[in-house]
Amino acid sequence: LTLVFAGISVLMAHILTTNTRHIREFNRAGNAKMLRNILALQQNLSNIALPEEGGLDAARKFYELYDLGVDGILRHISEHGAEFSFDVYRRMVGFVYSGSGQGAALSEGRANSLMEASQSDQYEAHIRQLQKLVEKPPIPSRS
């Protein structure tokens, strides 16, 4: 039975982070709910899978990034390296902007007012910075 469930938490974490493109709107309450659901999944999986398998930790870390804000996300990547793909991080940045009600218009390139245009410029600057951070080679460890 262990063989059947080995790796299931890693698969679930992959699904929870890469399929974020299907989430239309996201806010602080939704993020808190995702974190609670991930914890519940971890607890339930510990009953049927290997308890030391920490695959869902990656999904938890991803959703914890939301609370850092865009600048915090960028700082985290520069200090710890990229743990996810550019597209996954870009979606999280979009989530942070959607918390302000601008995310959908910004990510689709539709800015309707001067304020939205200003936020769109800021969003684009954050995305360019994100791209530079994610595409740079990993920080070598000193061993």
- This prediction's pTM: 0.75
Please, are residues 81 and 51 in contact by the beta-carbon 8 Å criterion?
no
| Residue 70 pLDDT | 94
The overall average pLDDT reported for the chain is 81
Question: Per-residue DSSP letters for 27-78?
Answer: -HHHHHHHHHHHHHHHHHHHHHS-TT--THHHHHHHHHGGGGHHHHHHHHHH
Residue 140, classed as helix, strand or coil, is coil
Question: Per-residue DSSP letters for 12-26?
Answer: HHHHHHHGGGG----
For 18-57, the pLDDT digits (tens) are 898 888 888 999 999 999 999 999 888 877 766 666 789 9
- Confidence class for position 132, pLDDT limits 50, 70, 90: very high
Q: Which tokens belong to 6? A: 């080995």
